[in-house]
Structures are given as C-alpha cells and as structure tokens.
Structure 1
Amino acid sequence: MKHTAHFEFWPPRIAKSLTLPETTIYDNLAITAKKYPNKTAYEFYGGSATYSQLLDETEKMAGYLEQECQVKQGDRVMLLMQNSPQFLVSLFAILRVRAVVVAINPMSTTKDLQFFLEDGDIRLAFIGQELYPKLEPLLGTTTLQTVISAAYSDYIDVGKALAAIPGEVKAPAKELAKTVSWKSALDAAQTPSDYAGESDDMAMIPYTSGTTGAPKGCIHTNCTVQANTTGSYHWMTMSPDTVVLTSLPLFHVTGLTHSALNPILAGSNMVIMTRWDRDYAMKAIEQFQVSHWINISTMLIDFLANPQLADYDISSLELVGGGGATLPIAVGEKLRQRTGLDYVEGYGLSETMSHTHFNPPNRPKLQCLGIPAFGVDARIIDPMTGEELGVEEEGELVVHAPQMFKGYYNQEEETKSSHMMLDGIQFFRTGDIVRMDNEGYFFIVDRVKRMINAAGFKVWPTEVESILYKHPAVQQACVVRSPDEVRGETVKALIILDPEYKGSVTSEEIIEWSKGQMASYKYPRIVEFRDSFPTTSSGKILWRQLQDA
C-alpha cells in the first residue's frame, strides 16, 4: 500500500505532486543563459564566467564533437575529470549532440578505465590532463580513439584565489602526445547542427560504485534526470540568487544533481572546488555568501573541526545537508550551535539519479533518510518472502519513482533480478534494510549483504556505528564481522579516535561503555583503532574493503 503519513510533514507552500517538464537537461542551460546571460555561473579559484559564456563554450565544444569527431546521437562519451568549468562544458556539449555522458571516478585505475571503455564501447574521452597517464595505455589498444585533454589552470586567476590552489589545478597546460588540447578544440569554433533533443533520449550512464561486485551502468534519460533536478530545485527553494558550494565530486550522481544541475536550472552561482579543503570552503562561504551546501558527513565533520572557523562569518548559509553516510548526532548538534541550522539528510542511488528520500528542510530528523520525494512510492518488504511490512518493521526498501533508471546497460538479467512487481507496479529492490516510523520518515538499518549473524542473532553494523558515535572519543566508526569459534560471527569495531582522546582511551574502555548502550549480542567484542579508513571519492567508507582485510 502506498504510504501517505509523511504528507503531514511536507515542506510548507510546496505542492505534493510535481508535473515534470518535457525539456531536456541541455535545455535547462540554454533557457537559463537566455534568462540570465550576464549572471555569474561559477567561481573557480579566482576565475569566473557568466551563463552566456558557459553556453558559448558548450556550443563550440559540441560543434567540435559533431563536425571533427563525428560523435552521433546515442554514442557513449567518457568524462574523466575532477570538478572544474571544463567538466560542465564537456557534460553539456555531450548532451548538446544527443550523445550519452559516462562520468567516471577520477580515482579509477587503468584496469578500471579499460572495463568502462569496453563495457560502454566508448570511442572518445574528455579528461583532466593529470589523469592522462592512466588513460594513455588504452588509447588505440581498446575502443578509445580520441582524447580531449583539459588543463584546469586555463580557468583560474591566481591573484584572486582565496587560499592555496590544489597542485593539479595550478599546473600549466601540457602538450600531450596523441591528444587534442581543450584550447584547440574550442578555437576550431565549429557550429553544431540544430538541437533536436527529446525528453526520452538516453542522457547519462552513471556506474554503481561496485561495492557489490563489478560496477553496472545505470541508463538514465533526460526525463529521469529532470525528475530529481526539478524536484530538488523546488524542495531546496532555489533561486537565481542562491549560491551553491560545489564541493561534492560531480562524477557522482549526488554532486552532479545538487551541486551542478540544480543551480544551473535555477541560474545560481556555483563556487567550484576541485578537491576538498576546509580552509578554502570556509573562506568561500564568507566571500561569496554561499547559501546552499550539499556535502557528505566526512566533509562536515572536518569543516566543523577547523579551529579557525570562529574567525569567519558563515551566516549566509541557509541549507546544509547531504547523504551517503548518516551524520553523527553530535556533529548535527555542533552544526546547529554554530549556524542555527539543522542538517538535512537524504537517501538515493545511482539507479535513481541521486535521491528518492529527503528530509523536509523545515522539519528534518537526524540520522534519518527522510520522507519519499515527489512521486516516489517507497515500501518495505521481507527480503526473503517479498511480503509487504508495516510501521517500525525492518525490511528491504523497494521504490517506484519517476527518477528510476531504465535498466542496467547491456545487463538484462541483472535488470530483471533487481526489480519486482507489487500491486501491479514495478519496483526497484535497493538492497538496503530500512524501517519507517509512524510519521512516514525512513531510517537506514543496513545493507542486506552487511548483516552479521552473531549466534543466530541479526546485527546491523550501521545501528552499532550510530551508537558508537555517541561516545565522545569516536570521530569515525566502521563495524565489520569477525569469525568467532563459538558465535560463528562476532562484531568488530574499527574506530578513528578524536585527536584529543588519542592515547587516553583504550579499546577495553570502549567495549565496556558499549555494553551499557546496546543489547548484549550487539556490542563489539573487538575494538581496533585506525588512523584512517579507505573511502570512495564521494566520502563513503569502503566497508567491504575493511571487511575483506
């Protein structure tokens, strides 16, 4: 049964349904450039550009793709870059010629890149010049034939930058063998043919992060991408005068939707950061009067721990939120003390082009996925039987939504097995275990595959982690299973200590404390201290890597 309890807590003055536009993602940029041609589109380490300049470069690059590289509708094009103006130009140029954007994690290895090129039958790639050594061995030995290489330094102004500029951003343009330089592609000043893009065109193939086996490409159309772009634009009450801190990586669906597509739809200013730097973020918020910042909890933890933060005026912030990993309650309270703002969490997947759930900004709950977004039918089932469950019952989240992908690229069987029918409607099985409270807010319990079976009892690592975060010494925690002769599996906690507690708290003390905080079968029997955790570039802890180790 479709749930409606959450409508009582819907953001005020926002309609409960949303008619989606039939325009395309490229149209969003073209319309904004027509409405606000002279408005600043982005700030980038001292450099900046207006919306008409952004559109002009997009048109020239699209002309080059079409006229010189013979890129056609439906061709997959790799976008391998860090956050930069060139990322935006490349993205919209690909969409302008009705080709398909395949944005890839810049941390990928040569072997990873070979997989993506072959899986997507990709002939052309846009890259940041610093990533070329990883791609060079694949040029001509795989499907890859053409590489357009960009130097981020072409778009900066060192004299106006607020703080230290990352090395790869400052690096001057290099002449790379076998590549086309960004500048020469733009200087060709080619004109693309008239735009005839449609809502149902395949637009993007983001890849799942591969935490559960080989990455899978998720097919998204302009329409599925517009669902979340338009939905979050309304949800976040954005306007042309909104200023967004673009610190999440843009290759990732959350960063792309909330920190680029959203502000471009609104005509907002994006303050682009190529890599996370808490000093730069702090200065940028003050200097540019940043109002909206979607981040990941690890960024916010680092930002609030900055001893210089009290010296800066960050009162322009109106909305701070994110997803990917739940925010520790203590950090949420610290944010409220510092800014008066509540952290607004959301939940989503590559398969749903970012969020399916979002907390109402006017009434968020901490450590909560939020309520279903516009048009989302979210239900909870028993993962074994498929039977629908009720309030406060733990089960697998399944969703039917306008932002739902059209299937995995070239993977019919995977597509079929990840969906199910319920009440005659097709739902996507997320693989996430959740529960819903009586107000219709959803809470993560864990991944189906993460469950620890301790002497027959189910232990969900995320629940144990959220309790560990209440201990003042715990800065970050990751819970994994450990083999146990008696219990089969037992709970092991890997912990990064807050610097001021290093050397003054023992693992035994944390185990003892845990006994008083959770059921006897849940508390960690083993605690190990670490200096760091492996993470994805979007900041998620790679629990599987820690588990395997």
Structure 2
Amino acid sequence: MFDRHHAVWPDRLPHHLPLPQTSLFTNLAISALRYPARDALIYYDTPLTYAELERQVLALAGYLQARGVARGDRVLLYMQNAPQYVVAYYAILRADAVVVPVNPMNRAAELEHYADDTGASLCICGQERLADVQPLCTADRLDEIIVTAYSEYATRATDLDLPTEVVAPFEAPTAAGVTAWRDALAAGHEPGPHTAAPDDLAVLPYSSGTTGQPKGCMHTHASVMATAVHSVVWGSGTAETVTLASLPYFHVTGMQNGMNAPIYAGATVVIMTRWDRRTAAELIQRYRIRRWTNIVTMAIDMLSDPEIERFDLSSLTYIGGGGAAMPEAVSEKLFKLTGLRYIEGYGLSETIAATHINPVDAPRAQCLGVPVFDVDSRIVDTTTQAELGVGEVGEIVVRGPQVFAGYWNRPTETAEAFIPLDGADFFRTGDIGYYDENGYFFIVDRVKRMINASGYKVWPAEVEALMYRHPDIREACIISTPDPRRGESVKACVVLEAEASADEAAILAWCRENMAAYKVPREIELCEALPRSPTGKVMWRHLQEQAWADSADA
C-alpha cells in the first residue's frame, strides 16, 4: 500500500474511512428524517426542503415503477442543473434502477448511442432538450420521455439574472410518448420496497476513448458512496455547509461534490443552471456559501471580473476542483481575495470523481494531490508495467473503493483497463505522471488522445466518428491546439470527397448542428491528404505537434 503521503496527511483525518453499507437513496432518506425543514436545495432564490425533496422523489419513483422500470433498468437523465435533476436522480435510485447521466449538450445523433448501448426505455429531460431526444421515441428506441421546464421550480421573485432556459414557461407536450413532469408526480403512485444493495449498479456515466464510441462506466452504490463521503470528510463538511453547485451534474465531479456529498451530510445546495460569474458571486454573498467545487476556468473567470471585490466572499472556506492546472498568478490573486488556496484534485469517470486531492492545510500548486482514503496509487512503466519510484515518470494506476466495476457490455476493454500489481488489480488511468518524495502526484502527459477544453473531456475518435456522417468528408483527424483561455481547443484536419462542395464554414455549421458545443472544432483545416505511417495509420501526433509548434511561432 502506497503510504509515502502519510507524512503530509491532515492530522485531523484518519487514513481509513469506513463507508455506509447502504444505497445512495438511503442518504437522502436519512437527511430528510433528520432535517425535514432544512433547505436541501435553493434554486435562484426558490428553496426546496428535505421533506419536500423526498416526497417528490418517492412520487416520481412510484411513477417510474408503474411504467415498468424495474431493478437494474437504465434510465436516461438528460437535463441541465436544476432541482428536477436531483429529484429524478434519486427517484431512479429509489426505483432500484440505474441513472445514465447524459451531457445536455449532446444532440440527437449522440443520444442514439446512449439509448442503444444501455437499452434504456425511458428518458427524463429538460424542455429545451426535448427536440433532440423526441426522435428516439418515434424510432422505437424509447417508450416514454418525461419532460420538465426549469421555470417550474424557479417560482419565487428574484433579482438574479436568470438564464433563458430558466425563464422559459412550461409548454405542455402534445406528442405521443411524452409525459409532463407535473403529471408524473401527480399520478399518485407509491414505490414498492427499496431493494437496491451496495453492490448493485447505481450510475452509468459515459467515458470515451480511442474506439470512437463512449463507454459506460459501471458504478455501484458503494463506489459512488465512496467519493461522496470522501468529499464531505476531506473538506470538513457538515449539515451547516452551504455548497454552490456550478459544475454540471452529468459530470462526475459536479454530481458528487454538488449533489451527492451535500445530501449525505444533510447540507444545503445552491444550484446554478448556467455558469455566470456575477450571479455566482452574488449567490456566494447572499447565501453565505462555504464550499465551491469548480473547474479552474470558472475560478479564473470570476477573478477576472473587474467588480469582483465589491462582493463579500468571506463565507468561503473551501475552493477547489480541477479540469486543468491552476495558474500560479491566478492562485495568488484568489489567495489575496479570499485567503484561501485553490485545492486541486484528480479523478476520472471511471473513479466517479477524486482519487487524489491536495491536503487543505498543505496544498501544492499545479499538483494532483495525494491519494485519499483507502486509495492505493502507483506509477508504472508504460512498456513493462514495472513499478517506478520517486520522480520517475510513468502511467498513474489506482485501486480503491471508488474504482468502477468495468465498462458496460465491454469485457475486453474492461480487462485491458486493469493490471495486476502486488496481488491486486489496479486501474490504468492513461495519464502520465510522477510523485515526489512526500507522495504528491503530478501529471505530465496523457497516454490517450483526450483533449481537455475548459475541463470538458473531448475524445478525438468520437468527434471523428461524428464528422464521418457528413457526406462531403472523406477523412477527418481531430487534434488539440493551444488555447490561452480554455487550455486546449479542438481542430479538425479534413480531407473532402472529390466532388464535395462544402467549405470550412459549411463544415463548421454542420458540426454545430450535430454535436455538443464543446466538441465542435474551433478550427477546420482542409487538407489534400493526411500523413500516414508505413502501416497506414493516420499520424495524428505529427499533426498535433505541428499545430502546437505553429502556435508557438505565431
């Protein structure tokens, strides 16, 4: 067991943390029993108590079961951050089913894969996403869609600047197979006994890779429970903690730190549907928010507001996250403004958030942190898989209670994702790094081709697969380019068919219509041919290195 980091381990924390042997829904039930009148959620000044949250969860769970959702069934959850997301998430769990969180930026073509791969028959979505998911009903992929407008839960008068989606009134659905959220809750169905066990599947977040199609990461109630509890204990969370949820709930970091962890603690969550730095600062000031987990670009954006100093942010006791390394200059500005150091962490969809976090009392800049409770992490040689020592660069591998059970319906890729070490199976992260003499881990490169654009993970093979649907594209190669704000951006090197009429602008417009915005290439380069290796493989690394060199020269 790796223990070099015990020298910098927080004195107040144990090295081992026993975890509840219950389902995730039980966390909500216990908090509702303990704190029924406490605000569980605050949505642009509209509160929802724990008692009311649980009542709605049970009503929706009963409806789901009445519609045939059974233990182990998968249900698509396709919406932006809102109270309905929390209700739907826990209702699916209460129905003993499995949550499939879908990025609300995904479009119809991308949704087809989620429906086909999971075998889901039901989707719960935000009103603004109905047009993208409705074709799956007419194509007999889904039996039913439950739709809601966010305005249904933003009912109190507010002076906050609300996103367009939150202001939009509810439009009663008329299409076959589409049910109004309010009707589902009012149907009067009560759920049967809750039977989900810790080892049952709970959440199936999707992570992509070099195969081009996203893969479902099988997480049990136990593995999701792990990082939810870790988050609370590592950050000294209590029932009095007020958390700002600005990260999207479909993302494992937002899901765990902005929803599951606070509910476990019986704390209050202030929810944002869309990021807005001025609204975030006002919410921190208004609700005396103590904990804010974000991506680095959000913190940078807030600090770049020329009027940020007029807001009282003194209630904050914890600011942290990841997605990219925090620039030193920005970290210093944050410290001067709040007296807090940005606490960086590291995790993946396969680990349902963090495996490494910086100690709150001894954080390192641009560092992944140290392995948290009961996590064993090592560095191994990328070729021989032999374990390496201090300062030696290799692949980061981990084992711990939060590591997933494998990829959904992909036994071969599951087997390839683990290696044996000291008699145990370690998950291969695909990230290249090292640790120092005190057990702090640092990242230096990636084995995989993943592009990190403002914390969003863009998988080139997936974008390429989508671009090949364009009739004028013969070949496409997706690479990263440097971006001073986003860290990295997406570039597409495209070879057109002989008789093609499309140009860069037309291809870009098509991409915007057919894929999530963060995946859309910022730049399209038309090429006569793509460079290939002697074996015929496209030399994507050559194209990428050239793009970065050209940017440096410019």
User: Do residues 88 (structure 1) and 86 (structure 2) align?
Assistant: yes
User: Do residues 122 (structure 1) and 110 (structure 2) align?
Assistant: no
**Residues 171, 541 of structure 1: CA spacing in aligned structure 2 closer, same or farther, 3 A cutoff?**
closer
- The one-letter code matched in structure 2 to 1:90 is A
Q: What corresponds to 1:468 in structure 2?
A: none
**Residues 352, 61 of structure 1: CA spacing in aligned structure 2 closer, same or farther, 3 A cutoff?**
same
Shift in Å, 1:3: 2.1
Shift in Å, 1:35: 0.5
Q: What corresponds to 2:482 in structure 1?
A: 494
Does the residue aligned with 1:239 lie in a helix, a strand or coil?
A: coil
Does the residue aligned with 1:378 lie in a helix, a strand or coil?
A: strand
Cα separation, 2, equivalents of 1:429 and 1:64: 40
**Residues 287, 381 of structure 1: CA spacing in aligned structure 2 closer, same or farther, 3 A cutoff?**
same
**Residues 414, 373 of structure 1: CA spacing in aligned structure 2 closer, same or farther, 3 A cutoff?**
same
**Residues 191, 378 of structure 1: CA spacing in aligned structure 2 closer, same or farther, 3 A cutoff?**
same
Does the residue aligned with 1:200 lie in a helix, a strand or coil?
A: coil
- 1:532-547 aligned at under 5 Å gives the runs none
Which of 160, 164, 186 is 2:161 aligned to? 164
Cα separation, 2, equivalents of 1:86 and 1:246: 14
Shift in Å, 1:196: 2.2
Worse-matched range after superposition: 285-294 or 181-190: 181-190
Cα separation, 2, equivalents of 1:250 and 1:116: 17
Does the residue aligned with 2:59 lie in a helix, a strand or coil?
A: helix
Which of 143, 154, 171 is 1:174 aligned to? 171
Asked if 2 retains the 8 angstrom alpha-carbon contact of 1:47 and 1:155, the reply is yes
Q: What corresponds to 1:421 in structure 2?
A: 420
- 1:113-262 aligned at under 5 Å gives the runs 113-157=111-155, 159=157, 161-176=158-173, 177-178=175-176, 179-210=178-209, 213-262=212-261
Cα separation, 2, equivalents of 1:16 and 1:168: 44
Alignment TM-score, normalising by the size of structure 2: 0.82
Asked if 1 retains the 8 angstrom alpha-carbon contact of 2:61 and 2:191, the reply is yes
- Structure 1 stretches (4+) deviating beyond 6 angstroms? 536-549
Does the residue aligned with 1:432 lie in a helix, a strand or coil?
A: strand
Worse-matched range after superposition: 246-255 or 326-335: 326-335
Does the residue aligned with 1:139 lie in a helix, a strand or coil?
A: helix
Q: What corresponds to 1:389 in structure 2?
A: 388
Cα separation, 2, equivalents of 1:180 and 1:389: 56
Asked if 1 retains the 8 angstrom alpha-carbon contact of 2:105 and 2:517, the reply is no
Q: What corresponds to 2:302 in structure 1?
A: 303
Q: What corresponds to 1:285 in structure 2?
A: 284
**Residues 9, 540 of structure 1: CA spacing in aligned structure 2 closer, same or farther, 3 A cutoff?**
farther
Cα separation, 2, equivalents of 1:232 and 1:226: 10
Cα separation, 2, equivalents of 1:34 and 1:276: 32
**Residues 545, 254 of structure 1: CA spacing in aligned structure 2 closer, same or farther, 3 A cutoff?**
farther
Does the residue aligned with 2:438 lie in a helix, a strand or coil?
A: coil
Asked if 2 retains the 8 angstrom alpha-carbon contact of 1:118 and 1:142, the reply is no
Cα separation, 1, equivalents of 2:378 and 2:131: 46
Cα separation, 2, equivalents of 1:259 and 1:296: 12
Does the residue aligned with 1:316 lie in a helix, a strand or coil?
A: coil
Shift in Å, 1:233: 1.1
Alignment TM-score, normalising by the size of structure 1: 0.83
Structure 1: which 5+ residue stretches go unaligned? 452-460, 466-477, 481-490, 499-533
- The one-letter code matched in structure 2 to 1:26 is F
- The one-letter code matched in structure 1 to 2:44 is Y
Cα separation, 2, equivalents of 1:364 and 1:418: 30
User: Do residues 28 (structure 1) and 27 (structure 2) align?
Assistant: yes
Cα separation, 2, equivalents of 1:331 and 1:272: 25
Cα separation, 2, equivalents of 1:372 and 1:544: 38
Q: What corresponds to 1:48 in structure 2?
A: 47
Asked if 2 retains the 8 angstrom alpha-carbon contact of 1:243 and 1:271, the reply is yes
Asked if 2 retains the 8 angstrom alpha-carbon contact of 1:149 and 1:182, the reply is yes
Cα separation, 1, equivalents of 2:522 and 2:96: 37
Please list the CA deviations of residues 271-296 of structure 1 after superposition, one character each: whole Å capped at 9, or x if unmatched.
10001000100100000000000000
**Residues 350, 497 of structure 1: CA spacing in aligned structure 2 closer, same or farther, 3 A cutoff?**
closer
Which of 97, 103, 106 is 1:108 aligned to? 106
- The one-letter code matched in structure 2 to 1:131 is R
Asked if 2 retains the 8 angstrom alpha-carbon contact of 1:163 and 1:279, the reply is no
Asked if 2 retains the 8 angstrom alpha-carbon contact of 1:117 and 1:142, the reply is no
Asked if 1 retains the 8 angstrom alpha-carbon contact of 2:71 and 2:196, the reply is no
Shift in Å, 1:201: 1.1
Asked if 2 retains the 8 angstrom alpha-carbon contact of 1:114 and 1:142, the reply is no
Shift in Å, 1:494: 3.0
**Residues 379, 332 of structure 1: CA spacing in aligned structure 2 closer, same or farther, 3 A cutoff?**
same
Cα separation, 1, equivalents of 2:237 and 2:517: 23
**Residues 209, 449 of structure 1: CA spacing in aligned structure 2 closer, same or farther, 3 A cutoff?**
closer
Does the residue aligned with 1:397 lie in a helix, a strand or coil?
A: strand
- The one-letter code matched in structure 2 to 1:61 is L
- 1:398-477 aligned at under 5 Å gives the runs 398-449=397-448
Cα separation, 1, equivalents of 2:287 and 2:391: 44
Shift in Å, 1:446: 1.3
Please list the CA deviations of residues 79-115 of structure 1 after superposition, one character each: whole Å capped at 9, or x if unmatched.
0010000000000000001100000000111111001
- The one-letter code matched in structure 2 to 1:175 is A
Does the residue aligned with 1:260 lie in a helix, a strand or coil?
A: helix
Does the residue aligned with 2:225 lie in a helix, a strand or coil?
A: helix
Does the residue aligned with 1:95 lie in a helix, a strand or coil?
A: helix
**Residues 211, 324 of structure 1: CA spacing in aligned structure 2 closer, same or farther, 3 A cutoff?**
farther
Shift in Å, 1:415: 0.3
Shift in Å, 1:419: 0.8
**Residues 201, 425 of structure 1: CA spacing in aligned structure 2 closer, same or farther, 3 A cutoff?**
same
Asked if 2 retains the 8 angstrom alpha-carbon contact of 1:107 and 1:537, the reply is yes
Does the residue aligned with 1:189 lie in a helix, a strand or coil?
A: coil
Asked if 2 retains the 8 angstrom alpha-carbon contact of 1:370 and 1:442, the reply is yes
Does the residue aligned with 2:172 lie in a helix, a strand or coil?
A: coil
- The one-letter code matched in structure 2 to 1:71 is V
Does the residue aligned with 2:256 lie in a helix, a strand or coil?
A: helix
Structure 2: which 5+ residue stretches go unaligned? 461-478, 487-511, 526-542, 548-554
Asked if 1 retains the 8 angstrom alpha-carbon contact of 2:134 and 2:145, the reply is no
Shift in Å, 1:12: 2.2
Shift in Å, 1:158: 5.1
Q: What corresponds to 2:313 in structure 1?
A: 314
Cα separation, 2, equivalents of 1:543 and 1:442: 32
- Equivalent residues, number: 476
Q: What corresponds to 2:375 in structure 1?
A: 376
Shift in Å, 1:331: 0.9
Cα separation, 2, equivalents of 1:158 and 1:383: 56
Cα separation, 2, equivalents of 1:540 and 1:281: 25
